[in-house]
Structure formats: C-alpha cells, structure tokens
Amino acid sequence: MKWYSPIFLCTIFLFLSCGKSEDKDVSVISAQLTIAKDYNLSADERLIATRKAFVLSDDIKNDSLRFQAVVTEFDIIHENYPDSIQKYLSKLKSWAIKPKQKSSLFLREGDVFKKNQQYNKAYDSYKESKIESDKTKDSLRIAYVLLNMAEIANIFNDYAGSQETATEALAFLTSSDRNDYKMQAYNLLGITYSCLQQYPNARESYQNALKMNEDELGKDIISNNIAYVYILERQYVKAATILQNLLKRPTILSNPDEHARVLHNLGFAENGANPNKGVDKMQHALKIREANGNYQDLPFSYLDLSDYYKTENPAIAKAYSEKALQTATNVNSIDQRIDALMQLVKLTNGTESKKAFLQYERLNDSITSLRRIAKNEFAMHKYNFRKSDQENAKLKMQSLYNERKELLYGIAIGLLFISGMFVVYIIRRRNATARKLEAYKTETRISRKIHDELANDVFDVIAFAEVQNLSENNNKEVLLNNLDNIYSRTRDFSRANSTIDTNSGFAAQLKDMMQGYSGKVTLLTIGFDVIEWQKIAPPIKIALYRIIQELLANMKKHSHADRVVLNFSQDKKNISVHYSDDGEGTLLSKEILKNGMLIMENRIRDIKGNYTFENQTGKGFRMHFVLPLK
C-alpha cells in the first residue's frame, strides 16, 4: 500500500502553483507590451500598458521584462512628449544593468541629443553604446551607432573621420541583410567623397547605395545625387542625361520637392553645357518651390538665377540675391546668407556694396570662428574617446598578458611538479633497485659465510661423530668444544645481521652486543650511561651500532686483544666514541683495511661524521669518530 507525505504533496503543489503563476504573469506582461507597441492606440493608452507591464515585471523581479517596459515607455515619450524625455533617460539609466541594456540606453540617449542638435553629447552617447555593444557582439547595433557617428562627423566637416567611420559600419554589415543600413552608409560615403572632391569615389559609393535601395523614390533621389556629382565635375551632358530620365519618373513628378530639385539641376546642367539654355527649367523649379512653400531650397534657386542674370540683367540678379538673403535669413541658412551677401557685394556699388561687404565679413568671420571652435571641440571629443579606447585596449592587453603570465607560471609549476615527481620516482626506483641489489649482496654474503664458515664445520663435526668412539672422554671433549665453537660463531653471526631497535631498547641492545665480544677480552665502557640516547636519530643509532660491531669483530678476528676500551661522550650536536685495544694492530696490506675500514668509513661519511685512527703493528689499534645527533 502506497502512502505520501502531506508535507511533500503540499510542497509540490506550491512549487507547481508558483511556476504556473509566474508563467501567467509573464504572459500578461508580454500582452501589455504588445498593446504598448500598437500604433493604432493613443499615446496615453500605450503608456498605461507600459506602466502595467513595468509593475508586474517588478513584482516578479524579472529584470529583462522590466527593462523592456521602461524602454517602450521611453520610445512613446520620445515620439509624443519630447520635452519630458530627459526624465525618462534618468529612469532608464537606473534600470540598465547588463551590457545589452546599457547599449540600448546610450543609443536612445544619442538619438535624443542628435535630434536636439547637441551633436557632441550625441557622439559621446553613441560611442558609449558601441563600447557596450562590442561586449555582446551586436553587429547591427554597432553599425547603427557608427552610421550616426559618421553623420555627426560630416556635420562638423570632419570628412576623413566620417569616411573612416562609415566604412567601419559597412564592415559590421557584411553578413547582414539590412540593406537600408548599407544604403545609408554608401550614401553617406558619397556625400563625404563629394565634399573631399573625390568625385569618382563619390559616384561609386552612390552606385552601391543605388543597388541597396529597395524604394523607388529612394533610387531616384540617389540618381539625382549621381547627376549632381557629374555637375560638380563639369560633365554636364552626362548629368543632363540622368536628369532627363528622372523627369519621366512618376515618383519624381508626384513629389513636388524632388521634382523641383531634379528640374533645377537639369536647368543648371543645360546652362553649363550651353549658356543660352536651362534658365526656363530653373525658373519652373522656383515656381514649384514657391507654390509648395519649400523655403529651405528657395535660396538655392534665387542664388543660381542671380548668377545667371548677373551679366545679362544685373538688376534682376540683384533682386534674386536680395530674395536669397531674406529667405536664408528666415530659415537660418548661414551658408546661403553668406553666398547672397557676397553676390550683393558684386552686384552693388558705393555705400550699398560696402554695407553688404561689412555684413558678409562679420557673418563669415563669426561663422568661421564658431565652426572652428565646434570642430576643435568635436576633435577633442574624438581624441578623448580614442585615448580612452587605447587605454582600455592597453588594460585589456595587460590583463591578457597577466592571464597568460599566470597560465605560464601555472604550466611551469606544473612541469616542475611533474619533473619533481618523475625525479622522485627515478630516485625511488634506483633506491629500490639499489636496495634489492644490496639485499642480494647481503644474502649472497650470508649464504657464502654460512657455507664457508659454518656448514663445513658442521659437516666435520658430523663426520667426527660418525667415525670416532664418543665413549672415550677425549673424543667427547673434542666434540663438545667443536660444537661450542660452532654455537659461538652462529650467535656472533646472528647478532651481526639482526634488526636494530632504534627506540627505547637501543642502549640495552648495544650494550648486549658489546658484552657478547667480552669473553676472554676485558671490555671497558666509559660514559655509556650518561649518553642521552633518545636525542640521537634512528639512522645515527644504526650507524653507531654497526661501526662498534665492526670494530669489535675485527678486534676478535685479527687483533687478538686482551683489553678493549670504548669511551663515549656527547655535546649539543654530536656524539663521540674513542676506541682502543692492546692487540697486534692491523696491517695496512690486509684485506680488513680494504673491507672493514672502508665499510666504516662509508657509514661515517654517509651521515656527515668524521673519524681518525692510529694503527701500529704490535702496539694495538685506536680510532676516534664523531657522529651528529640528527
């Protein structure tokens, strides 16, 4: 029978309920945002929808939807209540957290500043938007801000900068299908090249823009621009051919402003090719502009007609120049005002001419100074941002260098560790091999010694027992002596190869070993009991034990001493032992010097000790050695 915990079921229910509730809230928010983007509704209705979306997204702590609501509200305010937009910019900044959100914020801020002709601020905002967009690799947004930056550079007559920035924008559009952005970039390049008097490049850029343009009127406008480049090159026939074809286009004929531009340019081109032609078309274009109230383009018509009549009828030319000055003043077109004043200087005399010249000089100097200041300020803005970019790039490079440096250090440490482990492995393997070899040698030595020294004697004893009458006291005594000798040598052999206790039992084992060699020899130990054996390291104890054992073994085998003295002493760092016997001494030519002394010498050197010895035949053997405690 199955049963379920009520608490567990309740938890599942709450979890599912919360999940369904949040999904429902997201759906409601999305619906409100859709309403906010419905242009069929009033601005107030759309704003109400964005505020509902904001409140709901804030309740569920959904940063992404909350930011979408703020951005949508900003766009509605920007379109319908531009005077209040600064307030919403501040609000937008408070919710911009992620790079994509910051990029969106700076882009919109740039659009606001650009619309208000605050071009330096707009440029700064677009630049910040590009920096944030670089982080998210948003190519389209980068291209958009670059196009706006290029346009601003063109406004400040920074044609080289405008060309560079527009070209950079195109690089971000290579894999995009946004032909409108590409068209805008090529059109801007056409304008820039025209200002730089690089006319073939200008025409090529306009041709590329023409290919990207999908709007019929847009194509006609770009074709008009191409014709104007030909006019600037004084290729009037080519320009006229393009313009005549444009005048047949319904899109041009149905648009008064574009109709007047094409007609005026055609008249100018025909007049350039033939001084007696074209004026009728320029006058026709003037009438269209006057009828349509196109005051921005009227100064161009007045000035070109004034230039046409300046020789044939100066009075008409003067009248056109005065109209050009008045209209340009009304629409605040500075360049056209300057051109009109210059034209009046040429067309008038005396006081009137002087008056026009003074106005021209004052206005020209003023606007030249203002433009120079504006251009310098813009150049400073560009420089500061470029410097900031270089510093950021330098910091990134430094950061990358540090990361690679740390990586290399890590690799180096890793390699050193691996190398160290490999070396340790090799050393251990060699030591293991050496230990095996040493064990083999020891086993061989023990085997040979047992065979040579004990086995043969045991065999002789067995043979003796088999052939001799052991009931005789003399034979029995010989047998017992031989057995006692074998036993004594077996005990010595066992001690020589036994395990050494390096802990608390060391002193007792060492003393027992020394006493085993006493027998017929008088063995004296001095200072043995005052040594602090617990302060001596185990390897030193083993070496000390084996050295004394070797000395006593050599004494018993070769010196035949009656008296042996071992004098022990200790200081803070070392233990010293002085050995002396009254035996026959050791001949240097004997094998003992090569073997026994060599073994002791190696033991002492291995633990960084030192020794001295005196050896005279018939006068005994003396040796003094010092071993470190640790």
pLDDT tens digits, residue range 375-394?
666 666 666 656 555 555 56
What's the first-to-final CA gap in the chain, in angstroms?
A: 73
- Which of 3.40.50.2300, 3.40.50.970, 3.30.300.30, 3.30.565.10 would CATH assign to domain 505-628? 3.30.565.10
Helix, strand, or coil (residue 622)? strand
Structure tokens at 119: 């071009």
Backbone angles phi, psi at 623, to 5 degrees: -145, 135
Averaged confidence pLDDT in the chain: 78
pLDDT in the model for residue 11: 40
Reply yes or no on whether the pLDDT at 488 is more than 70: no
Nearest to 191 by CA among 214, 221, 171: 221
What is the mean pLDDT of the segment spanning 433-461? 57
What is the mean pLDDT of the segment spanning 124-140? 87
Reply yes or no on whether the pLDDT at 2 is more than 50: no
Quickly state the pLDDT bin for 430 (edges 50, 70, 90). Answer: low
Cβ neighbour number for residue 126 with a 10 Å cutoff: 27
What is the mean pLDDT of the segment spanning 270-291? 91
Quickly state the pLDDT bin for 12 (edges 50, 70, 90). Answer: very low
pLDDT in the model for residue 16: 40
Nearest to 507 by CA among 478, 529, 486, 522: 529
Structure tokens at 443: 């086993």
Nearest to 300 by CA among 291, 289, 310: 289
Strands in 574-581's sheet, in edge-to-edge order, are: 522-526, 563-570, 574-581, 621-628, 610-615
Cβ neighbour number for residue 240 with a 10 Å cutoff: 23
In angstroms, the CA 428 to CA 422 distance is: 10
pLDDT in the model for residue 249: 92
Reply yes or no on whether the pLDDT at 21 is more than 70: no
Reply yes or no on whether the pLDDT at 15 is more than 50: no
pLDDT in the model for residue 7: 40
Residue pLDDT, tens place only, 172-195: 888 777 888 899 999 999 999 998
Strand runs (DSSP E) across 450-521, as ranges? none
What is the mean pLDDT of the segment spanning 326-344? 84
pLDDT in the model for residue 558: 74
What is the mean pLDDT of the segment spanning 101-127? 83
Of residues 500 and 404, more confidence is placed in 500
Of residues 193 and 466, more confidence is placed in 193
Quickly state the pLDDT bin for 496 (edges 50, 70, 90). Answer: low
pLDDT in the model for residue 603: 82
Reply yes or no on whether the pLDDT at 624 is more than 70: yes
> Is residue 567 within 8 Å of residue 527, measured between CB atoms?
yes
pLDDT in the model for residue 243: 93
In angstroms, the CA 536 to CA 630 distance is: 6
Quickly state the pLDDT bin for 10 (edges 50, 70, 90). Answer: very low
Residue pLDDT, tens place only, 546-560: 888 888 888 877 777
Helix, strand, or coil (residue 460)? helix
Residue whose structure tokens are 């300057």: 338
Q: Give the best-scoring range by mean pLDDT among 5-14, 233-242, 327-336, 352-361.
A: 233-242
Structure tokens at 170: 């195109």
Quickly state the pLDDT bin for 539 (edges 50, 70, 90). Answer: confident
Partners of 526 in the β-ladder: 567
Domain regions of the chain by residue span: 14-95, 462-498, 505-628
pLDDT in the model for residue 1: 40
Q: Give the best-scoring range by mean pLDDT among 228-242, 350-364, 408-422.
A: 228-242
Residue pLDDT, tens place only, 557-592: 777 788 899 999 999 889 999 988 888 765 444 554
> Is residue 314 within 8 Å of residue 307, measured between CB atoms?
no
Residue pLDDT, tens place only, 133-163: 888 888 898 989 999 999 988 888 888 888 8
User: CA angle, 380 as apex, 376 and 386 as ends, to 5°?
Assistant: 140
pLDDT in the model for residue 434: 52
Amino acid present at 297: D
CA 391, chain centre distance (Å): 15
Q: Give the best-scoring range by mean pLDDT among 236-245, 307-316, 520-529, 604-613.
A: 236-245
pLDDT in the model for residue 238: 94
pTM of the model: 0.56
Residue pLDDT, tens place only, 67-78: 777 778 777 877
Partners of 564 in the β-ladder: 523, 581
Element (H, E) at 221: helix 216-232
pLDDT in the model for residue 535: 87
User: CA angle, 517 as apex, 515 and 520 as ends, to 5°?
Assistant: 105
Cβ neighbour number for residue 243 with a 10 Å cutoff: 28
pLDDT in the model for residue 417: 76
Quickly state the pLDDT bin for 444 (edges 50, 70, 90). Answer: low
CB-neighbour burial class of residue 321 (10 A; exposed 0-12, middle 13-18, buried 19+)? buried
